[in-house]
Amino acid sequence: MVGWGMARKRREPKPAEWVPTSELADKYSLTSEFFTDRIGKHFVRGVHVINCTPDAWRPTYRWHLEECHQWFAKNDILNHEASQDSVA
């Protein structure tokens, strides 16, 4: 318990490059499911995505902005997904 005059331990700020799924989905105008469905298939754990709550029943993912941006640039997945949608 923290008493009067005792300093509280401050949390370290989150690094700006790791963002929640919803923020990444908004950035690329995609759904959260687009990203979560591709964990382990396209996005590598520990490189593109981390689970902040490994013991929880519902995972909380954080995504590395720069790594994901490089992955999108390399794979050109946005144009491929759009062409698949127009065919169906």
pLDDT at 4 over 70: no
pLDDT of residue 7: 59
The confidence band for 81, taking pLDDT boundaries of 50, 70 and 90, is low
Is-contact 65 19, C-beta < 8 A? yes
Angstrom distance (rounded) from CA 19 to CA 27 = 11
pLDDT of residue 87: 45
The string of pLDDT tens digits covering residues 6-63 is 556 555 555 668 999 999 999 999 999 999 999 999 999 999 999 999 999 999 999 9
pLDDT of residue 76: 77
Full-model pTM: 0.70
Structure letter (DSSP) for residue 60: -
Which CATH number fits the domain 18-83, given the four candidates 1.10.1660, 3.30.300, 1.10.260, 1.10.3470? 1.10.1660
